Amino acid sequence: MASEEKRAEILKNLSEGVVEYDEDRVKEYSNIALDEKMDAYDAIMNGLAAGMEIVGDLYDRQEYFVPEILMCADALYAGLDILKPHLKIDDASGVKGQVVIGTVQGDVHDIGKNLIKMMFDVGGFTVHDLGRDVPLEKFAEEQLKTDSEIVALSAMMTTTMMGMKKVIAMIKEKNPDVAIMLGGAPVTKDVANLFGADGYAESAGNAVQEAIKMIGQLRKLKEDGVPA
Protein backbone atom coordinates (compact mmCIF):
# COMPACT_ATOMS: atom_id res chain seq x y z
CA MET A 1 0.00 0.00 0.00
CA ALA A 2 1.18 3.48 -0.80
CA SER A 3 1.91 5.77 2.13
CA GLU A 4 -0.42 8.76 2.60
CA GLU A 5 2.36 11.03 1.40
CA LYS A 6 2.98 8.94 -1.72
CA ARG A 7 -0.75 8.64 -2.40
CA ALA A 8 -1.12 12.42 -2.24
CA GLU A 9 1.83 12.87 -4.60
CA ILE A 10 0.37 10.40 -7.11
CA LEU A 11 -3.11 11.93 -7.01
CA LYS A 12 -1.69 15.44 -7.44
CA ASN A 13 0.33 14.39 -10.48
CA LEU A 14 -2.58 12.50 -12.04
CA SER A 15 -4.87 15.48 -11.56
CA GLU A 16 -2.35 18.06 -12.77
CA GLY A 17 -1.36 15.80 -15.67
CA VAL A 18 -4.99 15.80 -16.87
CA VAL A 19 -5.40 19.57 -16.38
CA GLU A 20 -2.12 20.29 -18.17
CA TYR A 21 -2.92 17.68 -20.86
CA ASP A 22 0.36 15.95 -20.13
CA GLU A 23 -0.21 12.37 -21.30
CA ASP A 24 3.31 11.20 -20.44
CA ARG A 25 3.00 12.40 -16.87
CA VAL A 26 -0.40 10.74 -16.47
CA LYS A 27 0.94 7.45 -17.83
CA GLU A 28 4.00 7.64 -15.57
CA TYR A 29 1.97 8.24 -12.41
CA SER A 30 -0.68 5.68 -13.34
CA ASN A 31 2.10 3.09 -13.47
CA ILE A 32 3.56 4.39 -10.20
CA ALA A 33 0.10 4.03 -8.62
CA LEU A 34 0.04 0.36 -9.63
CA ASP A 35 3.65 -0.21 -8.51
CA GLU A 36 2.76 1.29 -5.12
CA LYS A 37 -0.26 -1.08 -4.90
CA MET A 38 -2.59 1.88 -4.74
CA ASP A 39 -6.30 1.21 -5.26
CA ALA A 40 -7.07 1.82 -8.96
CA TYR A 41 -10.51 3.22 -8.14
CA ASP A 42 -8.94 5.76 -5.78
CA ALA A 43 -6.44 6.80 -8.47
CA ILE A 44 -9.18 7.17 -11.09
CA MET A 45 -11.71 9.04 -8.99
CA ASN A 46 -9.43 11.20 -6.85
CA GLY A 47 -6.71 11.70 -9.43
CA LEU A 48 -7.96 11.59 -13.03
CA ALA A 49 -11.61 12.51 -12.43
CA ALA A 50 -10.65 15.23 -9.95
CA GLY A 51 -8.44 16.72 -12.66
CA MET A 52 -11.27 16.57 -15.16
CA GLU A 53 -13.51 18.44 -12.74
CA ILE A 54 -11.00 21.30 -12.73
CA VAL A 55 -10.94 21.14 -16.54
CA GLY A 56 -14.74 21.43 -16.57
CA ASP A 57 -14.52 24.50 -14.39
CA LEU A 58 -11.89 26.07 -16.67
CA TYR A 59 -14.15 25.36 -19.65
CA ASP A 60 -17.16 26.93 -17.93
CA ARG A 61 -15.08 30.05 -17.29
CA GLN A 62 -13.94 30.03 -20.94
CA GLU A 63 -10.31 29.71 -20.01
CA TYR A 64 -10.22 26.36 -21.75
CA PHE A 65 -11.82 25.73 -25.13
CA VAL A 66 -12.51 22.57 -27.12
CA PRO A 67 -8.88 21.87 -28.15
CA GLU A 68 -7.76 21.94 -24.51
CA ILE A 69 -10.71 19.75 -23.47
CA LEU A 70 -9.86 17.18 -26.13
CA MET A 71 -6.21 17.08 -25.08
CA CYS A 72 -7.20 16.75 -21.41
CA ALA A 73 -9.51 13.89 -22.41
CA ASP A 74 -6.62 12.19 -24.23
CA ALA A 75 -4.53 12.45 -21.07
CA LEU A 76 -7.37 11.09 -18.94
CA TYR A 77 -7.90 8.11 -21.26
CA ALA A 78 -4.15 7.41 -21.23
CA GLY A 79 -4.45 6.95 -17.46
CA LEU A 80 -7.76 5.04 -17.65
CA ASP A 81 -6.25 2.53 -20.09
CA ILE A 82 -3.60 1.68 -17.49
CA LEU A 83 -5.74 1.79 -14.36
CA LYS A 84 -9.13 0.43 -15.43
CA PRO A 85 -8.03 -3.21 -15.90
CA HIS A 86 -6.99 -3.16 -12.22
CA LEU A 87 -10.39 -2.12 -10.84
CA LYS A 88 -11.60 -4.70 -8.32
CA ILE A 89 -14.84 -6.52 -9.13
CA ASP A 90 -16.27 -5.46 -5.79
CA ASP A 91 -15.77 -1.80 -6.56
CA ALA A 92 -19.54 -1.65 -6.49
CA SER A 93 -19.38 1.95 -5.45
CA GLY A 94 -18.20 2.71 -8.94
CA VAL A 95 -20.81 0.73 -10.89
CA LYS A 96 -23.82 2.93 -11.41
CA GLY A 97 -25.71 1.37 -14.30
CA GLN A 98 -25.85 1.18 -18.07
CA VAL A 99 -26.27 3.98 -20.54
CA VAL A 100 -26.92 4.06 -24.29
CA ILE A 101 -25.46 7.21 -25.81
CA GLY A 102 -25.32 8.76 -29.27
CA THR A 103 -25.72 11.85 -31.44
CA VAL A 104 -29.06 11.86 -33.26
CA GLN A 105 -29.60 11.31 -36.96
CA GLY A 106 -28.33 14.04 -39.26
CA ASP A 107 -25.85 15.32 -36.71
CA VAL A 108 -22.19 14.40 -36.99
CA HIS A 109 -20.97 16.60 -34.14
CA ASP A 110 -19.75 14.25 -31.46
CA ILE A 111 -17.23 16.21 -29.39
CA GLY A 112 -19.74 16.90 -26.62
CA LYS A 113 -21.13 13.38 -26.77
CA ASN A 114 -17.65 11.91 -26.40
CA LEU A 115 -16.95 14.05 -23.35
CA ILE A 116 -20.18 12.89 -21.71
CA LYS A 117 -19.27 9.30 -22.58
CA MET A 118 -15.90 9.79 -20.93
CA MET A 119 -17.52 11.10 -17.76
CA PHE A 120 -19.87 8.10 -17.69
CA ASP A 121 -16.83 5.83 -18.13
CA VAL A 122 -15.06 7.50 -15.24
CA GLY A 123 -18.24 7.43 -13.17
CA GLY A 124 -18.38 3.65 -13.42
CA PHE A 125 -21.24 3.29 -15.91
CA THR A 126 -21.27 0.64 -18.62
CA VAL A 127 -21.51 2.73 -21.77
CA HIS A 128 -23.03 1.56 -25.07
CA ASP A 129 -21.84 4.19 -27.52
CA LEU A 130 -23.80 4.25 -30.79
CA GLY A 131 -21.57 7.01 -32.21
CA ARG A 132 -22.85 9.90 -34.27
CA ASP A 133 -25.55 10.37 -36.90
CA VAL A 134 -27.52 7.51 -35.30
CA PRO A 135 -30.83 6.47 -36.93
CA LEU A 136 -33.61 7.39 -34.52
CA GLU A 137 -34.98 3.85 -34.11
CA LYS A 138 -31.51 2.50 -33.20
CA PHE A 139 -31.66 4.10 -29.74
CA ALA A 140 -34.81 2.17 -28.80
CA GLU A 141 -33.40 -1.09 -30.22
CA GLU A 142 -30.12 -0.77 -28.30
CA GLN A 143 -31.89 0.13 -25.06
CA LEU A 144 -34.06 -2.98 -25.27
CA LYS A 145 -31.07 -5.17 -26.25
CA THR A 146 -28.90 -4.01 -23.36
CA ASP A 147 -31.66 -3.27 -20.84
CA SER A 148 -29.95 0.03 -20.06
CA GLU A 149 -31.49 2.31 -17.46
CA ILE A 150 -30.54 5.49 -19.33
CA VAL A 151 -30.52 6.72 -22.92
CA ALA A 152 -28.49 9.89 -23.48
CA LEU A 153 -29.17 11.85 -26.69
CA SER A 154 -26.99 14.61 -28.06
CA ALA A 155 -27.59 17.19 -30.83
CA MET A 156 -25.48 20.18 -31.84
CA MET A 157 -27.94 21.78 -34.22
CA THR A 158 -31.48 23.07 -33.74
CA THR A 159 -32.42 21.33 -36.96
CA THR A 160 -31.36 17.86 -35.74
CA MET A 161 -32.49 18.49 -32.17
CA MET A 162 -36.09 18.18 -33.36
CA GLY A 163 -35.46 14.44 -33.98
CA MET A 164 -35.00 13.89 -30.23
CA LYS A 165 -38.73 14.17 -29.65
CA LYS A 166 -39.36 11.24 -32.01
CA VAL A 167 -36.67 9.12 -30.29
CA ILE A 168 -38.20 9.75 -26.88
CA ALA A 169 -41.64 8.72 -28.12
CA MET A 170 -40.21 5.53 -29.68
CA ILE A 171 -38.34 4.54 -26.53
CA LYS A 172 -41.14 5.36 -24.10
CA GLU A 173 -43.58 3.38 -26.25
CA LYS A 174 -41.45 0.25 -25.99
CA ASN A 175 -40.20 0.77 -22.44
CA PRO A 176 -41.73 3.56 -20.35
CA ASP A 177 -39.36 2.80 -17.44
CA VAL A 178 -36.19 4.01 -19.17
CA ALA A 179 -34.81 7.42 -18.22
CA ILE A 180 -33.92 9.70 -21.11
CA MET A 181 -31.41 12.51 -20.88
CA LEU A 182 -30.82 15.24 -23.47
CA GLY A 183 -27.83 17.46 -24.07
CA GLY A 184 -26.20 19.64 -26.73
CA ALA A 185 -25.84 23.26 -27.75
CA PRO A 186 -29.47 24.08 -28.66
CA VAL A 187 -31.04 22.01 -25.86
CA THR A 188 -32.34 23.66 -22.71
CA LYS A 189 -34.19 22.39 -19.67
CA ASP A 190 -37.43 23.72 -21.17
CA VAL A 191 -36.81 21.85 -24.41
CA ALA A 192 -36.08 18.64 -22.49
CA ASN A 193 -39.34 19.03 -20.56
CA LEU A 194 -41.33 19.80 -23.69
CA PHE A 195 -39.96 16.73 -25.49
CA GLY A 196 -40.79 14.48 -22.52
CA ALA A 197 -37.23 13.74 -21.41
CA ASP A 198 -36.44 12.83 -17.80
CA GLY A 199 -33.21 14.78 -17.51
CA TYR A 200 -31.14 17.52 -19.06
CA ALA A 201 -27.36 17.72 -19.05
CA GLU A 202 -25.98 21.23 -19.14
CA SER A 203 -22.38 19.99 -19.03
CA ALA A 204 -20.35 16.78 -18.92
CA GLY A 205 -20.02 16.78 -15.15
CA ASN A 206 -23.68 17.61 -14.68
CA ALA A 207 -24.66 14.70 -17.00
CA VAL A 208 -23.27 12.07 -14.66
CA GLN A 209 -24.85 13.63 -11.57
CA GLU A 210 -28.18 13.87 -13.40
CA ALA A 211 -27.90 10.23 -14.53
CA ILE A 212 -27.19 9.00 -11.02
CA LYS A 213 -30.16 10.98 -9.76
CA MET A 214 -32.44 9.56 -12.46
CA ILE A 215 -31.37 5.98 -11.79
CA GLY A 216 -31.93 6.50 -8.08
CA GLN A 217 -35.46 7.75 -8.78
CA LEU A 218 -36.19 4.86 -11.15
CA ARG A 219 -34.98 2.25 -8.67
CA LYS A 220 -36.96 3.84 -5.86
CA LEU A 221 -40.12 3.87 -7.95
CA LYS A 222 -39.59 0.20 -8.86
CA GLU A 223 -38.97 -0.75 -5.21
CA ASP A 224 -42.12 1.11 -4.20
CA GLY A 225 -44.09 -0.74 -6.86
CA VAL A 226 -45.07 2.45 -8.65
CA PRO A 227 -44.78 2.38 -12.45
CA ALA A 228 -42.01 4.78 -13.40
Partner 1 sequence: MGKQHVIDAVKGLATEKVPWVPYSGVHSAFLIGEPADKFLQDPDLIAKGVIYAAQRYKADGIPLLFDLTVEAISMGCNHKWWPDNPPSITGHPLENKSLAESGIKIPSSKDGRWPVIIEAGKMVRAALPDVALYGILCGPLTLASHLRGVRIFTDVYKNKAIAREIIDFCGQVGGEAARIYAEEIGCDVIAITDPVASLIKPKSFREFVTPAAQSAIKVTRKAGKVSSFFICGDATKCLEEVAMVGTDGFAIDEQLNLNYVRDIALKHQVGFGGNLKLTLAMSLGLVSPREDALISLAAGGSTGYVFAPGCDMPYDVPVEHIDQVIEAIEFYNTYYARYPHHMVEK
CB atoms inside a 10 Å sphere around CB 33: 27
On whether the CB atoms of residues 33 and 47 are closer than 8 A, the answer is yes
| Contact flag: residue 137 with partner 1 (CB under 8 A) | no
| Contact with partner 1 (CB under 8 A) among 50, 54, 87, 162 | 162
Nearer to partner 1, 98 or 154 (CB): 154
CB contact at 8 A, 135 and 166: no
Q: Which is nearer to partner 1, 10 or 167 (CB)?
A: 167
Cα 191 to the center of its chain, rounded Å: 21
Contact flag: residue 106 with partner 1 (CB under 8 A): yes
Which residues lie below 8 Å from residue 99, measured CB to CB, with a gap of 6+?
120, 125, 126, 127, 128, 148, 149, 150, 151, 152, 211
Name the minimum Å distance from CB 158 to partner 1.
Answer: 5
Query: Amino acid identity of 126?
Result: T
Binding segment toward partner 1, per CB under 8 A, in 8-16, 120-128, 157-165, 208-216: 157-165
Paired with 200 in beta bridges are 182
- The sheet with strand 126-129 has its strands ordered as 126-129, 98-103, 150-154, 179-183, 199-201
Number of residues forming the site for partner 1 (CB under 8 A): 28
Q: Which of residues 2-61 bind partner 1 (CB under 8 A)?
A: none
Distance CA 40, CA 84 (A): 7
Candidates 35-43, 65-73, 168-176, 197-205 — which segment interacts with partner 1 by CB under 8 A?
A: 65-73
Would you give the binding string for partner 1 spanning residues 107-126, x where CB under 8 A is met?
Answer: xx-xx---------------
Of residues 87 and 162, the one with the C-beta less far from partner 1: 162
CA 28, chain centre distance (Å): 25
Binding site for partner 1 (CB under 8 A): 62, 65-68, 70-71, 74, 105-108, 110-111, 133, 157-162, 185-188, 190-191, 194
